[in-house]
């Protein structure tokens, strides 16, 4: 079902293609990278050549090798941070959607608070306080991006909680925990998958931003860390920015775009509200003039009936 819907979305296929390239690069870095990214393999600030396709940095390390190995770190941070966010967001969304009383209201007010807090200052503050460590960075990002998935999942839970099989389970005396795990959770997993892909896109971009500001792990060279060293070591003044800044920037853009396109395509295919909206729009494009006139006349009759009431 997912693949069938995805095949009809060209942008989703483009995103999937970009992600396949990134994953192959990350998993096959040992065979793809021409050099060890930690070794000095050339002269400082060597421009692109046959020996170094993207040149070298200020101490002679191959930049192409840094980018290939950097894919591992950037994707690892993005996927793990998104996983943390989805565990929290799915849990909060399930509880807030199922319990509609004071408990659900309190949870959603907490979600609203997270969404309105100034994002960048809080992100920088937490990263600086916890320290420059790969796992700290993952935790910080995961704790900051779970609110949006929670709202999306809650909206789906509100609909699922009114289904007949859920009502029947309540009437049979089933416990809330059983209903949530057995009946509600399976209904939101597909939507959670789409939110996970979008959260991964956000995580990669946030990691690059934090690393560029010097708040990343200096011992692990992600794409953002490569940009940080380029800025700190005067790549813009030396002219090396052409091969030291643009390539990692393009890698970040391609990965974020790939996850975003795939995530939006999955969300459109799996989110019932977006699916219904898309089906209506598609019908309107394909409907015959006679069908459109009939629909328009029915709408006018409904409006007159409401006016008479």
Work out the pLDDT band at 309, boundaries 50, 70, 90: very low
Work out the pLDDT band at 279, boundaries 50, 70, 90: very low
What was the pLDDT predicted at 121? 85
Contact in structure between 77 and 134 (CB atoms under 8 Å): yes
The domains located in the chain, with CATH, are: 2-270 (1.10.3720.10)
What was the pLDDT predicted at 158? 92
pTM listed for this prediction: 0.84
Q: C-alpha distances in angstroms, 7 versus 16, 195, 258?
A: 10, 19, 15
Percent of the chain with pLDDT over 70: 87
- pLDDT by residue (tens digit) across 33-54? 999 999 999 999 999 999 999 9
Tell me the average pLDDT across 167-196. Answer: 91
What was the pLDDT predicted at 118? 82
Query: How much is the mean pLDDT over the chain?
Result: 86
Query: 19 pLDDT exceeds 50?
Result: yes
What was the pLDDT predicted at 297? 53
- pLDDT by residue (tens digit) across 213-230? 888 888 888 999 999 999
Among 98-102, 152-156, 226-230, the minimum mean pLDDT is found in 98-102
């Amino acid at each position: 079902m997912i693949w069938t819907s995805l095949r009809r979305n060209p942008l989703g296929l483009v995103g999937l293609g970009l992600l396949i390239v990134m994953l192959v690069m990350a998993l096959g870095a040992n065979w793809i990278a021409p050099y060890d990214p930690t070794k000095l393999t050339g002269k400082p600030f060597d421009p692109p050549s046959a020996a170094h396709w993207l040149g070298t940095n200020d101490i002679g390390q191959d930049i192409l090798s840094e980018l290939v190995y950097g894919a591992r770190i950037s994707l690892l941070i993005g996927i793990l941070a998104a996983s943390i966010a989805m565990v929290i967001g799915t849990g909060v969304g399930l509880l807030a959607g199922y319990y509609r009383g004071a408990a659900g209201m309190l949870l959603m007010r907490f979600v609203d608070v997270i969404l309105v807090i100034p994002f960048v200052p809080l992100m920088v503050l937490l990263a600086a306080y916890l320290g420059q460590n790969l796992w700290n960075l993952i935790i910080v990002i995961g704790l900051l991006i779970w609110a949006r998935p929670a709202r999306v999942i809650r909206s789906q839970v509100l609909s699922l909680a009114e289904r007949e099989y859920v009502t029947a389970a309540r009437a049979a005396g089933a416990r809330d925990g059983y209903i949530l795990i057995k009946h509600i959770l399976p209904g939101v997993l597909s939507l959670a998958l789409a939110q996970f892909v979008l959260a991964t896109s956000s995580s990669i971009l946030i990691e690059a931003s934090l690393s560029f500001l010097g708040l990343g792990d200096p011992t692990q060279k992600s794409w953002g860390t490569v940009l940080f060293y380029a800025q700190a070591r005067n790549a813009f003044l030396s002219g090396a920015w052409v091969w030291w800044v643009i390539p990692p920037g393009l890698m970040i853009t391609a990965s974020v775009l790939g996850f975003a396109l795939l995530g939006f395509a999955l969300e459109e295919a799996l989110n019932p509200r977006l699916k219904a909206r898309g089906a209506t729009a598609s019908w309107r494009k394909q409907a015959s003039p006679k069908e459109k006139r009939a629909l328009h006349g029915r709408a006018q009759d409904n409006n007159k009936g409401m006016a008479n009431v």
